[in-house]
Structure 1
Amino acid sequence: MSDATGPQPSYEEAREELVEVVRTLEAGGTTLEESLELWERGEALAKVCQAWLDGARQRLDEAMGAED
C-alpha cells in the first residue's frame, strides 16, 4: 500500500487495492477504527482511479481534436 508521500500507484494497482478494501469492509469483522481507516483509504484510491480516468479522457479528447 502506497502512502501519501510515496509515488502514485498505477490505475490498475489502485483499482486492485480498492477492490480488496471493499472486500474487507463487506466481510466485516473489523473494528470501527479499522473500518474508518479502510473507508478513508478507499476514498483516496477512488480519487486516484478517477484522476487516471480523467487524464485518459483528456488525452483521448486531445488526440481526437488533433485529427480534426
Structure 2
Amino acid sequence: MGAARFDLTPTRHYDGVMIRITLRLPDDVHARVVARAETERRSLNSQIVHLLEIALAADQSHDESP
C-alpha cells in the first residue's frame, strides 16, 4: 500500500481553541472514514470534522423546517 497523501490545507478557519479528544470507532467505520479521507485528500482529523459539520448542518436545517 502506497503512502497516503493528504491535503493539509484547512478547509475552514477556526477562531476558537481546538479541543483534543479520544475517539473510539468500530474498525469498519474507521476504515470507511480513512478511505474517504484519502479520496478527498484530507487528513483523518479534517475528514472527521468535515463529516461532523455536514451532519450538524443537516440536523440544524431539519430542526428549522416547519
TM-score after normalising by structure 2: 0.43
- Structure with the greater alpha carbon radius of gyration: 1
* Between structures 1 and 2, the one with greater helix share: 1
